[in-house]
Chains A and B, each alone.
Chain A
Amino acid sequence: MSWVYSGLRRPVEAVSAEAVGRGTTPGRPVSAPDPLRTPLNMCPTDALRSENDRVVVDYPRCINCLRCVREPPSLPVEVGYEPARLLTEPLAAAFRHSVHVRVVDAGDCGACLNEIRQLTGPVYSLHRFGVYVTPTPRDADVLVVVGPVTRAMEGALMATYDALPDPKRVLAVGACALSGGIFRGSFAVRDGLVPSLGIPVDAMVAGCPPPPLAILEALLVLTGQVAAGGRS
């Protein structure tokens, strides 16, 4: 009881969804003009492309190493995050204030998973939006996948996806789940949620790891509470 009392006396203030800052969302390189045509192979994951004299960042591949920021071509860094992309429809309105999430770790390094854990903590307080992490896929509406999908986790991931009742949505979190990230090309991983897995990705959030706010936004987009920023 005494814990409850002290919890009431000393609440932890939750950040608002707009509280973008260097701590919560350290930043990402942004596209910039590059008349010098710097060699772009300095990016360890081939996330830089040159288009019309501009360096363009392919965010699903970017692993936030900031090498292109700290070394030439010295792209500008922007405090913030890449908005979530919705690839299909959000869940029906019935799910708007009660959506259950099952997280599957498909070979994640631990950072994305820790950011999701932070989401359930008091600072981001996922629950205030009616989103809950559920112990069993049987109750889940959204499958959150982190990690590059290792071969050993492939079967478990498929089983979890199959165990979710319809209607269901899949959210791919982090560069690894989107493209394999830095693990792209390893014999032991599937380069993220590739189409041949048969798990359709409904929404994705880039980053290595995506800051909690970005994941939060992605979940809200999936449930239709927020309009998608980067619908494609």
Chain B
Amino acid sequence: MAEIPSLQSLRGRVQALAGVPVSVAAPPEHLLPLTQVLMRQGWWFIGLAPDQEEPGAPTRLRYLWQHDEAPWLCLDVTADGDVPSITGDVYAADWPEREAEDLFGVRFSGHPVLGNFVLHDEVWAENLEPMREPVRPLTPEPRMDVERPSIVTAPGRFAFPIGPVFSGVEESVELTIETVGEEVVYPHVRLFYKYRGIERMLTGRTGADAVLLAERVNGPSAFAHATALSQALESLCLREVPARAYALRLLFAELERVRSHIRSLSHTVESTGLSLPANWLIAAEESLLQLSGEVAGHRYLFGLNTVGGLTLDVPDEALASMVKRVGRVLDQVDALYERLTFDNSFLDRLEEVGSIAPGRARLVGMVGPVARASAVDRDVRRHQPYGAYRRTVPRPVTAEEGDGYARFRVFHEEARAAFSLMEEAVAHLPAGPVRVAMEPRGGTAVGAVEAPGGTLAYYVRTGGDGTIRRCHIMPPNFANWHAVTDALRGSAFQDVPIILATFGFAVADADR
């Protein structure tokens, strides 16, 4: 059986560019014992990147694991036949395995629910495996008779389908709630209505073009996506980005975080029916959008990041005034937050709804602020510091209860913490260029950042010319949507929109 390198030895190997994973090859029959060893050693499962290196070759499964201040560990299993499902030990691998099954045709023995996941049965035929070379003809075969899952037997049980077209200005996702009325007995989530095939589109692109596509995986956290992909590619080039670029990346990433968290707060407040504070928060978000537009030329920071740095330098004074303006917006949000936390009708809707216990949060694989609200203290910025975060460390923000109110508090608290980071960074702005030319090189790397929603990782394999051969995105919302079943189960109907809002979800992020 393959040896897992000891943590001591790995910690010694942490470098400035930690993106290149330590690979441990293992035959499928050793997968389960190795997984158990990793779990015992306290590694975190982040994602499963299936990769096919040559057309016609078997799919290589790359199980990506993370540990504090250690480089990425990649458990490399060749799927030549059935692969045992690790979901018995790592429930977080549930959806990644389903995804690999749909896109690569990997058969996981022991996974009870496979198929009809990324590729909906309404549209696509079975066994299409669109990510494998050679590609089969990808023509849709529409069907109308796809049944919804049904696992509840109870007198008077009925299914309550919601979506994909919701009533407000909402992203497309489907929920089927099994119920006997008033109470959610069991919810089924269906993602991938917005599957755009981005990973397939990334194949064959150059770094700069790929970043433009990565930005549009999820518009509201475009900068995080661009940073993650750029970092992965930069770590392959073995060259550091200028210090000023790192500092600016931090500033814009934290600006995006503040905006995104205010947006999450506004969704939560809106779902409880308090339209006035919700609208104030929407206005606060708008002022940050305008700020982004003025400083970076794009309201959502599109086109700003690229491999090797930023496409645009911003004068120090402009950055300083930007941080000041963020502070003013946050002051308004703080005043509102104070009032909201004293509003009983608001708190009643949030407290003890959608609770996820800490152990459960880790089990289902939650990441980011919503996980931190369930006392899972994981933050890429602190535990695998990258870029300017190696010097400017954010303060930890967590809560214990794991309910809607805990998530609300963490979102607010983190927006505050992000602002402190911005103040710290803007005080010590390095001078110099914001971009260096990068020599393209081949190799495999992982780029991870703390996106507003949580851990966002890009697995990238490039060819010798620097073009992308395979890119796998592990977005935070994909991990967190997996927790929705837990959060909704047993709750009252009228709490469902509130619970969903407290997660601050982005569907586009999960669907890719």
Contacts and interface: CB of A to CB of B under 8 A. Distances in A.
A181 B213 CA distance: 10
Interface stretch (A53-61, A87-95, A148-156): A148-156
B349 to A, nearest CB: 14
Given A66-B303, A186-B201, A133 B220 contact: no
Given A22-B293, A66-B297, A186 B197 contact: yes
A103 B169 contact: yes
B252 interface: no
By DSSP majority rule, is chain B's interface helix, strand, loop, or mixed?
A: loop
Contacts of B192: 152
Given A23-B290, A63-B212, A111-B222, A188 B303 contact: no
A197 interface: no
A156 B193 contact: yes
A70 B217 contact: no
Nearest to A184: B201
A132 B165 CA distance: 17
B201 A183 contact: yes
A110 B506 contact: yes
B308 to A, nearest CB: 13
B424 interface: no
Contact of A152 (B123, B170, B302, B506): B123
B302 A3 contact: no
Given A6-B276, A121-B279, A182-B216, A133 B168 contact: yes
Interface residues of B, number: 63
Given A121-B283, A183-B196, A153 B172 contact: yes
A7 B120 CA distance: 45
B283 A105 contact: no
Interface residues on A, range: 35 or more
A24 B311 contact: no
Interface string B31-56: 00000000000000000000000000
A188 B197 contact: yes
A17 interface: no
B196 A148 contact: yes
B170 to A, nearest CB: 7
A218 to B, nearest CB: 15
Interface in A63-88: 63-67, 70-71, 77
Given A110-B508, A133-B169, A152-B194, A64 B303 contact: yes
Nearest to A102: B165
Contacts of B209: 44
A23 B299 CA distance: 7
Contacts of A66: 297-298, 303, 311
A44 B282 CA distance: 32
30 contacts: A7-B276, A12-B280, A23-B293, A24-B290, A63-B216, A64-B303, A66-B311, A67-B212, A67-B303, A71-B311, A105-B194, A106-B172, A107-B508, A108-B171, A118-B282, A118-B286, A118-B289, A121-B279, A123-B286, A133-B168, A135-B168, A151-B140, A152-B193, A152-B195, A155-B123, A156-B164, A183-B196, A183-B216, A186-B196, A188-B200
Given A110-B218, A148-B196, 13 more contacts: A3-B276, A23-B289, A63-B302, A70-B312, A105-B194, A118-B285, A122-B282, A152-B194, A153-B194, A155-B142, A156-B164, A156-B193, A182-B216
